[in-house]
Structure 1
């Protein structure tokens, strides 16, 4: 603990933002990170609280009080070493994690939580600037080969851990670039893709092989989100070549809205809008890109994906953006005596909302209306009320909302089917790969030597949970191959 009375002396200082009018004109990140002296003061706010609930609030169990103290002492390199001992990619979580660690902060009971996420962001950015992030190739090779199917954060974390343990790791990715939903789900203004690219270079120097545009399945799917594969590899070939296989793809099957008019032109899944924009930002040509310029946009779904649609539409120059959420409007602030140290339900306004958006809650979409050309022109919506967890429509509450584009951003149900079907693994009730996380069979599927981690196993979740599961799965695979493991869990 750096300063005993720091939490009494200093106020929380959040990271700054470029002004909305300016940042809507580009696709770059716009967060103004803390300066060294500002991070020092924020580190001083960390309390000697005895039991640091933040450690368990963080899915990767970052050793938060220690790196807070080190930043207060301005020992940045050691702070980086502590941070990277539990998190392979702090530059991802320091930008896009919602920070459950801060919800669990002891100071958050009756004051503003320590700015843990901003400190993490400052540490890893300084580490890259100072050249401390370097490849860590293994001292010896094991002769074992591991296939990782899915190059999102879970697959990347598992691959890096296993390569550092001395295994030969090949990562198969159906998209044309590494990153999974980090690459083609999260807009560049939240996470510039150069952060992924430099991690790929580091991992290649550590011995990881990436095979992009490659789908491991029995056949190309008839439809798919974010599927830019040009090569198909059979699961039989993978099973024959590798000693262990990890399934680590993302949860990409979006929830549909089967109401009248769903097939009208202009009604799209969110990822049909977000993924092409990221490709265009990367310099690719995408002739069929959906563009919101000058259009009335309606986003259905109040979560992060919906927020990303709002921010992207604003950067296109949409005439208007409206976002509907089926659930009731949450309270402005949580009852901390009831929710702490758990993640609370409360009103959250993203940076994209601040750029311009009309939001409404407890609204259900009954149908879409279109014109003679088959294009959507309006939504028919209605108010709902929730009683004892059940939703009922309020009689006489219908109205129409004009729309030129509608994006369905209601979450994702399970991984796309071809990979799980190809390997014949047993699924749970939600369509994910069935595998537990504890005990001797942790992360193992019903098929011998096939493991599952991240969204592929747990369903739609956070990047930080994907990293955690990738790391833990890597340890289980290492133990399966070698009988013991020195990898951290």
Structure 2
């Protein structure tokens, strides 16, 4: 997998850039900047690069060896990787944190580098807030995919992965993550897989992939919103309310129905996981004054191709900022955490 193709590497530039997060956006940006001659360091809490591509997307879609070769290309280009290293400011715990062995403060990076690109992705799943969601057998799709992928590539024991053989699986959602869960469930021997979506198939941006799954035997239920998980000691089914669209809004009706399930996976979106918890309250212009930029799912979840394009675009923006707006000082530009504190304290 090629994150960036460098025709000819430029001569060295007098600026150092830190990229936080080694997903598609961060890796693409790192490749562009290294090709232009900048010293680039990538900080990643996981044991290797790739982000969700490496640690959540099914192996049959993107093999880990392809991702690893793409990372090696960047290393040959001069990108310096710091794996198992989490950058912290006020970050809550999130998926994958158990792999971090080293912790680096955001303030330290601000003092050591001329610009920072935060590309930490969206590693926090949205919670399913219905009765019974805490029952055994109910999983958020991201964690489930992560467990399966980590077992497939040798980091986890298969004992950590639910047994899908002969099971009935209900997947709530109709995005790419839901598609990946349905795909893995079938590969792992599920007897029946049902996807349920509160809108119609035509409203799903993954409708082509879902159409293929339907042709292979996956059931797809439209206009259905979960209202509770049924079961006592573990999940045994999902009660849904029929929905309807009114003026583009999804409304639930009084009509109810139940789908039996041994395993329930909800794929209802992920939340950005930036080391700056309150970054959403900030104007990007305020943070640019401190040399801080954002790219990829940490801004808003998107597909791989879009994340890579944004990583490249942000890298170009960083390059322009360094030469046109940054203080004419090198190794390093001294920047305090004052602006970050303003963001976190809600003063932005």
Shared fold, TM over 0.5: yes
Counterpart in the other structure of 1:361: 222
Other-structure match for 2:190? 318
Residue 143 of structure 1 and its aligned partner are, at CA, apart by 3.1
Are 1:252 and 1:415, in contact at CA under 8 Å, matched by a contact in 2? Answer: yes
Pairwise CA distance, 1:167: 0.9
- 1:280 partnered with 2:151: yes
Whole-angstrom distance in 2 between the partners of 1:364 and 1:392:
9
SS in 2 for 1:427: helix
Give the drift of 1:447.
5.5
1:407 aligns with 2:265: yes
Shift of residue 193, structure 1, vs aligned partner? 1.7
Task: Give the whole-Å Cα distance in 2 for the aligned partners of 1:410 and 1:151.
Answer: 24
Q: Which of 160, 179, 200 is 1:307 aligned to?
A: 179
Measured at CA, do residues 253 and 469 of structure 1 come closer, stay the same or move farther in structure 2, by a change above 3 Å?
A: same
Aligned residue in 1 for 2:44: 173
Within-5 A mapping of 1:159-170: 159-170=30-41
Shift of 1:264: 0.6
Kindly state the Cα deviation for residue 181 of structure 1 after the two structures are TM-superposed.
1.3
Q: What is the rounded CA distance, in whole Å, between the counterparts of 1:382 and 1:211 in structure 2? A: 48
Name which of 260, 276, 286 aligns with 1:420. Answer: 276
Deviations 1:177-202 (A, max 9, x none): 20111112211111112221111111
**What 5-or-longer segments of structure 2 have no aligned partner?**
326-348
Q: 1:475 aligns with which of 316, 319, 332?
A: 316
**2:77 match:** 206
Is residue 2:295 matched to residue 1:453?
yes
For 1:171-250, list aligned pairs within 5 A: 171-218=42-89, 221-222=92-93, 224-227=94-97, 228-250=99-121
Q: Deviations along 1:138-166, whole A, 9 cap, x unmatched?
A: 34212321100011111011100110111
Alignment of 1:20-419 (within 5 A): 89=3, 138-218=9-89, 221-222=92-93, 224-227=94-97, 228-286=99-157, 287-330=159-202, 349-371=210-232, 374-395=233-254, 397-412=255-270, 414-417=271-274, 419=275
TM-score normalised by L of structure 2: 0.85
More strand per residue: 2
**Structure 1 residue 427: Cα displacement:** 1.4
Query: Which secondary structure does the structure 2 equivalent of 1:302 belong to?
Result: coil
Instruction: Name the CA distance, whole Å, in 1 between partners of 2:38 and 2:201.
Output: 50
Assess if the C-alpha contact under 8 Å between 1:219 and 1:232 holds in 2: no
Q: Give per-residue Cα distances to partners, 1:434-462, cap 9 Å, x unaligned.
A: 53xxxxx6xx73550111112222x0112
- How far apart, in 2, do the equivalents of 1:406 and 1:246 lie? 36
Distance 1:391 1:351 in 2: 26
Q: Aligned partners of 1:461 and 1:147: how far apart in 2?
A: 22
- Contact residue 330 and residue 345 of structure 1 kept, 8 A: no
User: TM-score scaled to structure 1, two decimals?
Assistant: 0.61
The alignment of Structure 1 onto Structure 2 pairs a total of residues equal to 323
Question: Is contact 2:91–2:276 with CA below 8 Å preserved after alignment?
Answer: no
SS at match of 1:215: strand
CA contact (8 A) 1:297 1:403 kept: yes
Shift of 1:310: 0.6
Partners of 1:394 and 1:229 in 2: CA distance: 46
- Residues 266-319 of structure 1, C-alpha deviations (whole Å, 9 max, x = no match): 111101111122112212233422332222110000111111001100011012
Deviations 1:192-237 (A, max 9, x none): 1222111111111110011112110147734x22433232111122
CA contact (8 A) 1:137 1:207 kept: no
Bigger radius of gyration: 1
Deviations 1:74-108 (A, max 9, x none): xxxxxxxxxxxxx9648xxxxxxxxxxxxxxxxxx
Q: Secondary structure at the match of 1:481?
A: helix
CA distance in 1, matches of 2:91, 2:14: 32
Q: Secondary structure at the match of 1:277?
A: helix
User: Structure 1 88/329 Cα, relative in aligned 2: closer, same or farther at 3 Å?
Assistant: closer
Whose RCO is larger (CA < 8 A, sep 6+)?
Answer: 2
Task: Indicate the RMSD between aligned Cα atoms, in angstroms.
Answer: 2.6
1:66 alignment counterpart: none
- Given that 1:311 and 1:355 are in contact with CA atoms closer than 8 Å, whether structure 2 keeps it comes out as no
Residues 174 and 346 of structure 1: CA distance in aligned 2, closer, same or farther (over 3 Å): closer
Q: Does the CA contact (< 8 Å) of 1:157 and 1:467 recur in 2?
A: yes
Contact map agreement 2:238 2:261 (CA 8 A) in 1: yes
